[in-house]
Chain A
Amino acid sequence: MPDGSLRASRQAHAAHHMRVDLQLIADLVKPGSRVLDIGCGDGALIGHLFHTRGCDARGLELDMALVTRAVAHGLPVMQGDADTDLVYYPDQAFDYVVLTRTLQAVERPLEVLQQMLRISTRAIVSFPNFGHWYLRAQLLLGGRMPMTKSWNRMWYETPNIHPCTIQDFFDLCKAEGYVVEQWLALDDEGHRAPWRRFPQLANLFGEQGLFVLRRR
Chain B
Amino acid sequence: MDQIEPFAEITHQAVVFPEGMALDCGRMLRQVTVAYRTYGSLNAERSNAILICHALTGDQYAADTHPLTGRAGWWANLVGPGLPIDTDRFFVICTNVLGGCMGSTGPRSPHDDKPHEPWGHDFPPVTIRDMVRAQKKLVDHFGISQLFAVIGGSMGGMQVLEWAATYPEAVFAAVPIASGAHHSAQNIAYNEVGRQAIFADPDFNNGEYWRLGVIPARGLAVARMVAHITYLSEAALTRKFGRRLRDASSLTLLDDKFEVESYLQYQGSAFVRRFDANSYLSITRAMDFFDLAFDRDGDLSRAFAGTRTRFCLVSFSSDWLFPTKATREVVNALIRGAANVSFVEIMSDKGHDAFLLDEPDFHRTLAGFIAGCADHRGLPHKETV
A residues near B, CB below 8 A? 1-2, 4-6, 8-9, 56, 58, 64, 67-68, 71-80, 85, 88-90, 93
Instruction: Judge if B342 is at the interface, Cβ distance under 8 Å.
Output: yes
Q: Is A79 touching B345 in the complex (CB atoms < 8 A)? A: yes
Q: Is B345 touching A64 in the complex (CB atoms < 8 A)? A: yes
Q: Is B331 touching A78 in the complex (CB atoms < 8 A)? A: yes
In Å, the complex CA distance between A64 and B373 comes to 21
Binds A, one of B63-71, B110-118, B147-155, B375-383: B375-383
Least distance between B330 CB and chain A CB atoms (Å): 11
Residues from chain B with Cβ under 8 Å of A2 in the complex: 378-380
In Å, the complex CA distance between A85 and B341 comes to 13
Closest partner residue, chain B, to A59 (CB atom): B342
Binds A, one of B29-37, B132-140, B363-371: B363-371
B 345-379 binary contact with A (CB < 8 Å = 1; else 0):
11100000000000001001101110111010011
Residues from chain B with Cβ under 8 Å of A8 in the complex: 381
Instruction: Judge if B332 is at the interface, Cβ distance under 8 Å.
Output: yes
Instruction: Judge if B200 is at the interface, Cβ distance under 8 Å.
Output: no
Residues from chain A with Cβ under 8 Å of B312 in the complex: 71
Q: Is A9 touching B375 in the complex (CB atoms < 8 A)? A: yes
Residues from chain B with Cβ under 8 Å of A80 in the complex: 331, 343
Q: Is A71 touching B338 in the complex (CB atoms < 8 A)? A: no
Q: Is B344 touching A71 in the complex (CB atoms < 8 A)? A: yes
Q: Is A6 touching B342 in the complex (CB atoms < 8 A)? A: no
Tally the A-B contacts, defined by beta carbons under 8 Å.
81
Q: Counting chain B CB atoms within 10 Å of each CB, which of A4, A71, A89, A93 scores highest?
A: A71
A79 interface neighbour in B310, B336, B344, Cβ under 8 Å:
B344
Instruction: Judge if B28 is at the interface, Cβ distance under 8 Å.
Output: no
B 266-307 binary contact with A (CB < 8 Å = 1; else 0):
000000000000000000000000000000000000000000
Q: How many residues of B contact A (CB 8 A)?
A: 32
Instruction: Judge if B340 is at the interface, Cβ distance under 8 Å.
Output: yes
Least distance between A205 CB and chain B CB atoms (Å): 40
Q: Is A74 touching B373 in the complex (CB atoms < 8 A)? A: yes
A72 interface neighbour in B365, B373, B375, B380, Cβ under 8 Å:
B365
Residues from chain B with Cβ under 8 Å of A6 in the complex: 375, 378
B338 interface neighbour in A79, A85, A90, Cβ under 8 Å:
A90
Known A2-B380, A5-B381, A76-B340; contact A71-B332, beta-carbon cutoff 8 A: no
Q: Is A76 touching B310 in the complex (CB atoms < 8 A)? A: yes
10 pairs of A and B residues whose beta carbons are closest in the complex: A74-B372, A2-B378, A72-B368, A78-B343, A72-B364, A93-B338, A88-B332, A5-B381, A71-B342, A88-B335
Residues from chain B with Cβ under 8 Å of A93 in the complex: 338
In Å, the complex CA distance between A79 and B373 comes to 19
Least distance between A94 CB and chain B CB atoms (Å): 9
In Å, the complex CA distance between A90 and B299 comes to 14
Residues from chain B with Cβ under 8 Å of A73 in the complex: 368, 372
Known A2-B378, A75-B372, A89-B335; contact A67-B340, beta-carbon cutoff 8 A: no
